Amino acid sequence: MSVQTSQPNDTNSLKNSLTAQGRLTIVGCGLHPGHMTMETESHIKNADIVLVVAPNPLSIQHIRQLNPNVENLGLLYEGDVNRLQTYHLMADRMVELASHGQNVCAIYYGHPGIFVLSTHMAREQLEEADIPVTMLPGISADACLFADLNLDPATTGCQSYEATQFLLSKRSIDTGASLILWQVGLVGEHTLKGQKPGKHGLAALTKLLQQDYPDDHKMCIYEAPTLPGFAPHIDWITLVELPSAKVSSISTLVIPPSSDLVFAKERLTWLKITNEDLSAWDDA
């Protein structure tokens, strides 16, 4: 399947193609229908056309009840096309409709700006052509994770990376903070077509983590629920068990701290305060 995308030098052609003032509103439907906000529903109802990328049939059904003029962009994942090509096709469709005067509402699973490349592609092209684009937040897997695991990222701090990028990039891990690795179920999958880890992905990730964590360190494979009323998938394993762990394309790896925070007492002088001045923090 060939892919055609609007490049920056196509900005003038986009402007000239306007027959009316089109616009693009990018919204998130959360992980299931119960997550959709009233603001998002309002934009769906008032759109000329609704573009949907949501694997949850209940969410799609709910969207169709709000506006029957729905086009399912999720179907572009079918066939022998890698994910990057699919993202270009999705962006092209958003740009095409909005640049021809349509009031377009694009709805994505979870949050429309988190792990969603196509929305950023479309936004950049349309904004260069002076076509209005708005993005509204949605409930995503990170919000569910913090609630389900009773994890407050402010307690010790939190590091967050895409698993394959983390594996292939030189990073300095802070073992005094939580580490979240997204899409661990696709780690090392280099073809951009598969829906499981690369052949050596989990083993390679384990080897990297063993440089900073002991083999018996506990970590969690987490999957947020995609239907209302259902429980999340929470599987606690040790680091040494990671290579054989059961993961899916929506699995996230959550690694709690393995060391204590180190108090930088010498920096109190920067604030011109003393250790006693911090007594209000004792209970925290």
Q: What is the mean pLDDT of residues 160-178?
A: 95
Q: Residue 221: its pLDDT value, please?
A: 98
Give pLDDT tens digits for 78-109.
Answer: 877 788 899 999 999 999 999 999 999 999 99
Are 151 and 178 within 8 A, CB to CB? yes
Options 3.50.50.60, 3.40.1010.10, 3.30.10.20, 3.20.20.10; CATH for 8-139 is 3.40.1010.10
| Token pair for 188 | 């090392």
For 212, the 3-state DSSP assignment is: coil
Q: Determine phi and psi for 122, rounding to 5 degrees.
A: -65, -40
> What are the start-end ranges of the H helices in the chain?
11-16, 38-46, 57-66, 83-99, 117-128, 141-148, 153-156, 163-168, 201-209, 268-271
Q: Residue 20: its pLDDT value, please?
A: 67
87 is catalytic: yes
Fold category of 142-255 in CATH: 3.30.950
Categorize the per-residue pLDDT at 284 as very low, low, confident or very high, splitting at 50, 70 and 90.
low
Active-site residue, selected from the candidate residues 87, 108, 213, 222: 87
Active-site residue, selected from the candidate residues 23, 93, 109, 213: 109
83 is catalytic: yes
Measuring CA to CA, which residue among 129, 125, 128, 233 is closest to residue 184? 233
161 is catalytic: no
CA dihedral of residues 85, 181, 229, 235 (deg, nearest 10) = 130
The domain spans of the chain are 8-139, 142-255
Burial class (CB in 10 A: 0-12, 13-18, 19+), 98: buried
Instruction: Please report, rounded to a whole number, the percentage of residues in the chain having pLDDT higher than 90.
Output: 74
Give pLDDT tens digits for 117-133.
Answer: 999 999 999 999 999 99
Dihedral-angle region of residue 54 (phi above 0 means left; psi in -120 to 50 means alpha; beta otherwise): beta
Give pLDDT tens digits for 217-260.
Answer: 999 999 999 888 889 999 999 999 999 999 998 999 999 999 99
Instruction: Please report, rounded to a whole number, the percentage of residues in the chain having pLDDT higher than 70.
Output: 92
Q: What is the mean pLDDT of residues 152-172?
A: 95
